[in-house]
Amino acid sequence: MTDDDFHEPFGPLYERPKSKECPNCSCCSAKLCERGRQSTMRCSGLTDTSTMQLASGCPCSAETTEGTHAWRAARIRITRHATERPLRTPAALLLRALDSAESGPVKDPEDMLGVLKAYGYAAVTEDGKPFITAFGWRYLAARAEQRFATPVQVETVDQQARTAQAIVVGWHPERAVTVLLDQLVAETGLKAEELPGTFLEADANCRAESADDIVLTKIRIAPDLPDGWTDGSVTSAE
């Protein structure tokens, strides 16, 4: 998944970073960070070119900061990579070696470190030692975890925050999961206002521990449900 899969519905409204205003960073205003958390463009993509570099490392909207839109989009991208077009064997073996490495050197006979760095799955220390990143661990987890086709019901949509609350039946029949609205729109072809109450299907890691751990892929419009399911006269327990 790339940033092209998402959009700012009214175009980016640029904000100028201001020091000292955000309690969690020293580069942006509180308003910019609030918007950055709710955009895959992050803080740096919502400011003008003269101050973009200043906001480029803002932790408030980073891909590595749990709960941000960029974090959710990164998890979708990595899961798709792991399940739909995984790394070639030499790169995968190197990533697993980095995951299990202790103090000894890791062999890279086919020079795959550059590939892993390009995906963000590996990095190097100041003295040149390679190590696996959080994204690398997420890739390995996505390769190992089981995914299941499951019904998904969209409950509510927040067009300003660009999120939706949905019931992922295979994970929990009542607890809602936050899903990026632009992912639902892009994959189903439906408009945001058409989504509440809609039944969908998706592949999901239904054994995830928490709602934020759920990652949906291959989202599609569900076929019509049997009579009685939508009016409550038939329950899943039956």
The domain that contains 126 carries what CATH number? 1.10.10
Answer yes or no: do 187 and 126 share one domain: no
Domain boundary among 101, 120, 144: 144
Considering the domain architecture, whether residues 8 and 66 belong to the same structural domain is answered as yes
Q: What is the pLDDT of residue 101?
A: 72
Task: Report helix, strand or coil for 149.
Answer: strand
Domain count, the chain: 3
Examine the domain organization and report whether 43 and 92 are in the same domain: no
In a domain, 232, yes or no: no
Give the pLDDT confidence score for residue 51 in this predicted structure. Answer: 77
Has residue 107 been placed in a domain?
A: yes
Sign for the CA dihedral angle at 184, 190, 191, 195 comes to negative
Task: Find the domain containing 118 and state its range.
Answer: 86-144
Could you tell me if 70 and 18 lie in one domain? yes
Has residue 135 been placed in a domain? Answer: yes
Give the amino acid at 215.
Answer: V
Q: Which residue bears the tokens 């729109």?
A: 185
Same domain, 130 and 185: no
The dihedral sign for the CA sequence 31, 34, 36, 39: negative
pTM: 0.83
Residue 226 counted as domain residue? no
- Residue 100 in any domain: the answer is yes
Q: Are residues 94 and 134 in the same domain?
A: yes
Residue 211: give its domain's CATH number. 2.40.50
Identify the domain boundary among 74, 103, 128.
Answer: 74
- Element housing 200 (H / E): strand 199-204
What's at 133, amino acid-wise?
T
Is residue 236, in this structure, part of any structural domain at all?
no
Residue 92 lies in a domain: yes
Same-domain check for residues 155 and 185: yes
Q: What is the pLDDT of residue 53?
A: 86
121 and 152 inside one domain: no
One domain, residues 162 and 205: yes
Residues 217 and 193 reside in one and the same domain: yes
- Last residue within a domain, chosen from 103, 125, 144: 144
**Are 74 and 61 contacting, i.e. CB atoms less than 8 angstroms apart?**
no
Q: What angle do CA 7, 10, 16 make, to 5 degrees?
A: 90
Residues 70 and 96 in one domain: no
Query: Which pLDDT does position 14 carry in this prediction?
Result: 54
Residues 162 and 138 in one domain: no
Q: How does pLDDT run along the chain (238 residues), one tens digit per residue?
A: 555 566 555 455 555 554 558 999 988 989 999 999 999 999 999 988 877 888 888 999 999 999 999 999 999 999 999 999 999 999 999 999 999 876 567 888 899 999 999 999 999 999 889 999 999 999 999 999 999 999 999 999 999 999 999 999 999 999 999 999 999 999 999 999 999 999 999 999 999 999 999 999 999 999 876 666 555 665 544 4
